[in-house]
Amino acid sequence: MSFGLGALFQKWRDFALPAISTILLPWQDFLTGLTLLPAYYQPYANVSIPFLSIIACVILNSFYTGLNVRGLLWRLGVALLVLIGLVIIFALFRANLGQSWHPEGAMMLGARTVFVLSYLFAWAGLAVVLYTAAIIIKIRKTPGQTVQ
Protein backbone atom coordinates (compact mmCIF):
# COMPACT_ATOMS: atom_id res chain seq x y z
CA MET A 1 0.00 0.00 0.00
CA SER A 2 1.42 3.36 -1.03
CA PHE A 3 1.03 6.51 1.03
CA GLY A 4 2.48 9.03 -1.45
CA LEU A 5 0.78 12.10 -2.81
CA GLY A 6 0.04 10.30 -6.07
CA ALA A 7 -1.78 7.53 -4.21
CA LEU A 8 -3.79 10.11 -2.30
CA PHE A 9 -5.10 11.79 -5.44
CA GLN A 10 -5.44 8.58 -7.43
CA LYS A 11 -8.98 8.11 -6.13
CA TRP A 12 -10.03 11.77 -6.14
CA ARG A 13 -13.52 10.91 -7.40
CA ASP A 14 -14.18 8.92 -4.24
CA PHE A 15 -13.55 11.75 -1.80
CA ALA A 16 -13.18 15.05 -3.67
CA LEU A 17 -16.43 15.29 -5.63
CA PRO A 18 -18.73 14.41 -2.71
CA ALA A 19 -16.76 16.72 -0.40
CA ILE A 20 -16.89 19.66 -2.81
CA SER A 21 -20.59 19.22 -3.49
CA THR A 22 -21.31 18.96 0.25
CA ILE A 23 -19.37 22.15 0.93
CA LEU A 24 -20.99 24.13 -1.91
CA LEU A 25 -24.57 22.89 -1.46
CA PRO A 26 -25.62 25.43 1.22
CA TRP A 27 -24.14 28.24 -0.91
CA GLN A 28 -25.81 27.22 -4.19
CA ASP A 29 -28.43 30.00 -4.27
CA PHE A 30 -25.89 32.64 -3.34
CA LEU A 31 -23.29 31.47 -5.88
CA THR A 32 -25.72 31.12 -8.78
CA GLY A 33 -27.29 34.52 -8.07
CA LEU A 34 -23.97 36.32 -7.69
CA THR A 35 -23.43 39.17 -10.14
CA LEU A 36 -19.83 40.16 -10.70
CA LEU A 37 -20.53 43.36 -12.54
CA PRO A 38 -23.51 45.66 -12.03
CA ALA A 39 -26.09 45.73 -14.82
CA TYR A 40 -24.98 49.27 -15.71
CA TYR A 41 -21.75 47.91 -17.27
CA GLN A 42 -23.00 44.46 -18.20
CA PRO A 43 -23.75 44.53 -21.94
CA TYR A 44 -20.66 46.49 -22.94
CA ALA A 45 -18.18 44.70 -20.72
CA ASN A 46 -19.34 41.18 -21.51
CA VAL A 47 -19.34 41.78 -25.26
CA SER A 48 -15.75 43.00 -25.21
CA ILE A 49 -14.33 40.13 -23.10
CA PRO A 50 -14.01 37.56 -25.95
CA PHE A 51 -12.29 40.06 -28.23
CA LEU A 52 -9.89 41.21 -25.52
CA SER A 53 -9.10 37.59 -24.60
CA ILE A 54 -8.35 36.61 -28.18
CA ILE A 55 -6.16 39.66 -28.71
CA ALA A 56 -4.23 38.89 -25.50
CA CYS A 57 -3.63 35.26 -26.56
CA VAL A 58 -2.50 36.26 -30.07
CA ILE A 59 -0.07 38.84 -28.68
CA LEU A 60 1.33 36.37 -26.13
CA ASN A 61 1.74 33.70 -28.78
CA SER A 62 4.29 35.93 -30.51
CA PHE A 63 6.27 36.11 -27.24
CA TYR A 64 6.09 32.32 -26.76
CA THR A 65 7.88 31.45 -30.02
CA GLY A 66 10.97 29.33 -29.37
CA LEU A 67 10.26 28.69 -25.69
CA ASN A 68 10.55 25.32 -24.05
CA VAL A 69 8.43 23.96 -21.20
CA ARG A 70 10.54 25.62 -18.49
CA GLY A 71 10.10 29.07 -20.04
CA LEU A 72 6.39 28.49 -20.45
CA LEU A 73 6.01 27.34 -16.85
CA TRP A 74 7.70 30.54 -15.66
CA ARG A 75 5.33 32.62 -17.79
CA LEU A 76 2.37 30.60 -16.53
CA GLY A 77 3.37 31.43 -12.96
CA VAL A 78 3.62 35.13 -13.79
CA ALA A 79 0.25 35.00 -15.55
CA LEU A 80 -1.32 33.34 -12.50
CA LEU A 81 0.09 36.01 -10.18
CA VAL A 82 -1.20 38.79 -12.44
CA LEU A 83 -4.61 37.09 -12.61
CA ILE A 84 -4.79 36.79 -8.82
CA GLY A 85 -3.80 40.45 -8.47
CA LEU A 86 -6.48 41.56 -10.92
CA VAL A 87 -9.13 39.50 -9.18
CA ILE A 88 -8.14 41.00 -5.82
CA ILE A 89 -8.31 44.53 -7.25
CA PHE A 90 -11.69 43.80 -8.81
CA ALA A 91 -13.03 42.26 -5.60
CA LEU A 92 -11.89 45.23 -3.52
CA PHE A 93 -13.52 47.70 -5.89
CA ARG A 94 -16.67 45.56 -6.09
CA ALA A 95 -16.96 45.42 -2.32
CA ASN A 96 -16.15 49.07 -1.57
CA LEU A 97 -17.03 51.30 -4.53
CA GLY A 98 -20.40 52.88 -3.80
CA GLN A 99 -20.75 50.85 -0.61
CA SER A 100 -18.26 52.23 1.89
CA TRP A 101 -16.21 54.42 -0.46
CA HIS A 102 -17.93 57.27 -2.32
CA PRO A 103 -15.42 59.27 -4.36
CA GLU A 104 -16.64 62.32 -6.23
CA GLY A 105 -15.91 63.91 -9.59
CA ALA A 106 -12.84 62.76 -11.47
CA MET A 107 -11.94 60.33 -8.71
CA MET A 108 -15.22 58.46 -9.26
CA LEU A 109 -14.58 58.31 -13.00
CA GLY A 110 -11.11 56.93 -12.36
CA ALA A 111 -12.41 54.40 -9.83
CA ARG A 112 -15.10 53.18 -12.21
CA THR A 113 -12.54 52.90 -15.00
CA VAL A 114 -10.20 50.82 -12.84
CA PHE A 115 -13.17 48.69 -11.73
CA VAL A 116 -14.28 47.84 -15.26
CA LEU A 117 -10.74 47.41 -16.62
CA SER A 118 -9.80 45.05 -13.79
CA TYR A 119 -12.90 42.99 -14.65
CA LEU A 120 -12.03 42.88 -18.35
CA PHE A 121 -8.34 42.15 -17.84
CA ALA A 122 -9.08 39.47 -15.23
CA TRP A 123 -11.09 37.54 -17.83
CA ALA A 124 -8.37 38.11 -20.42
CA GLY A 125 -5.84 36.92 -17.83
CA LEU A 126 -7.86 33.76 -17.30
CA ALA A 127 -7.80 33.14 -21.05
CA VAL A 128 -4.02 33.65 -21.10
CA VAL A 129 -3.53 31.21 -18.21
CA LEU A 130 -5.66 28.56 -19.90
CA TYR A 131 -3.96 29.14 -23.27
CA THR A 132 -0.49 28.86 -21.74
CA ALA A 133 -1.46 25.70 -19.87
CA ALA A 134 -2.80 24.19 -23.11
CA ILE A 135 0.48 24.95 -24.89
CA ILE A 136 2.45 23.34 -22.04
CA ILE A 137 0.29 20.21 -22.21
CA LYS A 138 0.77 20.01 -25.98
CA ILE A 139 4.55 20.44 -25.77
CA ARG A 140 4.96 17.92 -22.95
CA LYS A 141 3.48 15.22 -25.18
CA THR A 142 6.52 15.50 -27.50
CA PRO A 143 9.76 15.98 -25.53
CA GLY A 144 12.25 18.50 -26.87
CA GLN A 145 9.65 20.49 -28.78
CA THR A 146 9.36 24.27 -28.48
CA VAL A 147 6.57 26.69 -29.36
CA GLN A 148 6.43 27.37 -33.09
Q: Does residue 146 belong to any structural domain of this protein?
A: no
Give burial (CB, 10 Å; 0-12/13-18/19+) of 16.
Answer: exposed
Q: What's the pLDDT tens digit per position in 97-133?
A: 777 888 888 988 888 888 888 888 888 898 999 998 8
**Same domain for 117 and 44:** yes
Q: Does residue 147 belong to any structural domain of this protein?
A: no
What is the rounded average pLDDT of the residues 44-53? 80
CB atoms inside a 10 Å sphere around CB 116: 19
Q: What's the pLDDT tens digit per position in 57-82?
A: 888 888 888 888 888 889 899 999 99
**Same domain for 15 and 56:** no
Residue 16 belongs to domain spanning: 1-34
Q: Does residue 132 belong to any structural domain of this protein?
A: yes
**pLDDT (0 to 100) of residue 11:** 64
Whole-number Å distance between alpha carbons of 142 and 86: 34
